[in-house]
Structure 1
């Protein structure tokens, strides 16, 4: 199974039309009842300066050979951000990325960076939110990845199927939404990856929260941000994170958590490091 680009393109465009009202884009709203929320196709076509038929063909995926000018106009009319704009181009233009993906192996450069990050929680994420490697402090913060079967070392599966994750994150819905947004972007970047397709099918079948979040068609690339952890041993940790990618291999990313110096979270992180040194099993720091 691989990504159905035509179906994904249509659903994505409809979801972006639905989030815009006539008032937001400067169109009059005559108060007529709308069968669906947001802009009508005719209104979007007018804003983009294309014919209604041309836009309908785009949204229905009748062809995947639209000009850059048309895609630019539609993206501007829908007020897409840069990640969403790239997603639209990826779905609406021909590509040659449908071949099966090779087995994921940790890049040596990222492995060296991970090994050097001994004082902060750090881990490497690959395609489909698979956790490929980690240091002891990341295992102490999130979960003991080394104690899990390889198939279960996956952020999306953990966030939606492990009840402990709901208690670990102070704002679990925000974390869940971020993970789904990363996964959808990853799916579009790797349309022939059967493992990603299987993961999405599994989570859709087993988690109502995943299904509801997936249907929003949100997209997000993992760059930097902040999460508050409620750790069962050391308590509250307010941690920022930064994402490092190698330019020639965007499928793998090193995630590193940091905290403000001399803060309560810094103290808690030091306590967590001491606890990790005595409890996390050797050999659990990735493959």
Structure 2
């Protein structure tokens, strides 16, 4: 991926979703195009309009820390989104990661002992490297269960499984954007984004927004074909000593209908013994 081009795309996407009111400007009525004008961003960032246009077009390749800081303030970027923008502006400064593929036997044993907590081990591109039996049962209605992004964008079952599909899809794409900032030349990333872009118009739409967000604890609503509706808190933990691996757990409130549904799901998935 071309880091300079991606920086311009990121700035344009942030400009197009920013309203004049959010930027502290007077809104004088309808605009022909959404968001702020380039000259408005330039004025707020204290740079020339020509300079800002060159940034969006990828013709300015060395924005200063002051300029990047000013743009982060104009767009109201989070710390993660600001770091992402810096990574796009200075891609050569980012370390190249080796893909993490090995899950330790101890970690597999740990999640395997959780009877009412679905758990997954994923790499930085959301490839599923390990899952406990309850997670296998939870996602049993999906045909392709090797990657969370492929599941939600390419499998028709996702629309019924996730009642809040748009929210879940947007969260996953924003996380992938965060990863992309430090792995611009990773062929795995290029292949995954290319595949999803070709096969899913919804992925192309959300990818073009350039939203950036880390995975954080959030309540997810799911609708399982056998046990019905579930409301689970998704928690994400980094695995020490394994570059890029994450432990994802889905927790039900103790005593809740969702916990009862998970217990039922576990019993349905349990092997039959003679």
1:36-56: CA deviation from partner (whole Å, max 9, x where unpaired): 211112111111122333323
**Is the contact made by 1:110 and 1:254 (CA closer than 8 Å) also made in structure 2?**
no
1:223-272: CA deviation from partner (whole Å, max 9, x where unpaired): 21111111111111110111000356552110001011111111111111
Alignment map for 1:244-283 (pairs within 5 Å):
244-246=237-239, 249=242, 251-278=244-271
Structure 1 residue 118, shift from structure 2 partner: 4.2
**Is the contact made by 2:51 and 2:60 (CA closer than 8 Å) also made in structure 1?**
no
Q: Which residue pairs with 1:285 in the alignment?
A: none
Alpha carbon RMSD of aligned pairs, Å?
2.5
Structure 1 residue 60, shift from structure 2 partner: 2.6
Report which stretch shifted further, 214-223 or 60-69: 60-69
Q: Which residue pairs with 1:42 in the alignment?
A: 39
> TM-score, normalised to structure 2's length?
0.89
Q: Which residue pairs with 2:25 in the alignment?
A: 27
Change in Cα spacing, 1:100 to 1:190, as seen in structure 2 (3 Å) is same
Aligned mates of 1:272, 1:193 — CA distance in 2? 38
Q: 1:157 aligns with which of 150, 162, 171?
A: 150
- The 3-state SS of whatever aligns with 2:271 is helix
Structure 1 residue 26, shift from structure 2 partner: 2.4
Q: 1:17 aligns with which of 15, 18, 23?
A: 15
Q: Which residue pairs with 2:124 in the alignment?
A: 127
Unaligned runs of 5+ in 2: none
**Is the contact made by 2:100 and 2:243 (CA closer than 8 Å) also made in structure 1?**
no
Aligned mates of 2:241, 2:85 — CA distance in 1? 23
> TM-score, normalised to structure 1's length?
0.85
Change in Cα spacing, 1:18 to 1:59, as seen in structure 2 (3 Å) is same
Q: 1:78 aligns with which of 75, 83, 108?
A: 75
